[in-house]
Amino acid sequence: MKELTAFEMESVNGAGWLQDGLASLGSSMGASAWTLSSNLLTIDLPIIGTINLESIAPNLGSQVGNMIGTVIGFTIEGSLASIPMFGGFINKLLGN
């Protein structure tokens, strides 16, 4: 049986489309930033050789971006849903 990631758990738990979209966008942006900065994260050690942090933690940028996008999406959805008389409509629209 597969263990779900935080993004997958939120998807099946009924997270709204805005939160899902921002989590996906954050994941893509984090992965891109992590890949682009891999040249800066290369360390050349005399005895061990070259160590690249991207090879040690290849999914770190994606996971960090995903979590940031999830938090931003959750905050926006929660703020919109808490507006009096308008929040119920927004809550249904966002899928919460």
User: Closest Cα partner for 31 from 62, 5, 64?
Assistant: 62
Helices 17-36, 87-94: axis angle to 10 degrees equals: 60
What percentage of the chain has pLDDT greater than the value 70?
A: 78
Which tens digit of pLDDT belongs to each residue from 2-18?
A: 776 766 665 555 557 78
- The pTM score is 0.68
Mean predicted lDDT score pLDDT of the chain:
80
Query: CA torsion 48→53→59→62, rounded to 10°?
Result: 180
pLDDT computed for residue 95 by the predictor? 64
pLDDT in tens, 75-92: 888 887 777 777 677 667
Map out the domains of the chain as residue ranges: 16-94
- pLDDT band at 42; cut points 50, 70, 90: confident
